[in-house]
Amino acid sequence: MSSGHDRQIPLLEEVFQRFPEKPINIEIKRDCDELIKKVSDLVKKYRRTERTIWASTSDPVMKKCRKENPDMPFMFTPRRGIILLILYYTGLLPFVPLPEAVVETYMPSIINRTYFPHNALMRNRFLVRLQDKLMMRKGLFQHLQARGIQVYLWVLNQESDFQRAFDCGATGVMTDYPSKLHRFIQKCEGEQRARGPEPQEPAAEEGQQHRC
């Protein structure tokens, strides 16, 4: 049914012109060499290499993106995300270099609630709970951010999901309702100002382990 209003999707170049200083995530969904080159050419034209992120769920496509413009930051593909979790739980993560700059993934608890994967196995309740337990780890998020890797969770549309994501240490969230997220952030900032500055924790004694 028509809403009675025309909608015009802006060109990528128009977005770059309108928001020259804003970081922008570009997901390449098709294995198309021409598309990848045109995106890279626009990024170079507007001198925003450091503020534009390559994103793709396909390893072959990501390889092509990195080859076309190796100076752009890029996200973990799903395969690389699995490797990341293996390194974290085996204790090897601090010793392994990570070329990626961003983690972008779904928050498992939204599966079967607001996100319904096509793969029936992904909707299995046991696997959803297992993913949630493995992925939503504050220690993991803190480790990544300490290494300069940002963490973004999608697609969160409820305040309880916003709260959980930030409590776990996510850098930010992706939502279908930006105004709702904006109000939530304003409310949190207002509550924090009302509480005043948080007291500094005393330094841990020598030999005592610090746990998050």
Query: Tens of pLDDT along 101-130?
Result: 999 999 999 999 988 888 888 899 999 999
Give me the pLDDT at residue 85, please.
98
CB pairs under 8 A, 24+ apart, for 69-78?
69/40, 69/43, 69/44, 72/40, 72/43, 73/100, 73/101, 73/102, 74/99, 74/100, 74/101, 74/102, 75/25, 75/100, 75/101, 75/102, 75/103, 75/104, 76/100, 76/102, 76/103, 76/104, 76/105
Assess whether 63 and 120 both reside in one domain: no
What is the largest distance, in Å, between two alpha-carbon atoms of the chain? Answer: 68
Domain stops at, among 29, 48, 74: 74
Assess whether 70 and 89 both reside in one domain: no
Assess whether 180 and 143 both reside in one domain: yes
- 3-class DSSP state of 154: strand
Assess whether 169 and 88 both reside in one domain: yes
205 domain residue, yes or no: no
Assess whether 33 and 117 both reside in one domain: no
Q: Which domain holds residue 18?
A: 10-74
- Side-chain-side CA neighbours of residue 58 (13 Å): 10
Contact 131, 119 (CB under 8 A): no
Domain stops at, among 27, 46, 74: 74
Assess whether 70 and 104 both reside in one domain: no
Per-residue pLDDT at 5 exceeds 90: no
The predicted-structure confidence for 16-60, as pLDDT tens digits, reads as follows: 999 999 999 999 999 999 999 999 999 999 999 999 999 999 999
208 domain residue, yes or no: no
- Mean pLDDT, range 121-150, rounded to an integer: 96
Assess whether 79 and 64 both reside in one domain: no
109 domain residue, yes or no: yes
Contact 110, 136 (CB under 8 A): no
In Å, what is the CA distance from 27 to each residue of 1, 73, 107, 176?
A: 29, 12, 18, 17
Domain stops at, among 74, 105, 130: 74
Taking all residues of the chain, what is their mean pLDDT, rounded to a whole number?
A: 91
Number of domains making up the chain? 2
Assess whether 69 and 16 both reside in one domain: yes
98 domain residue, yes or no: yes
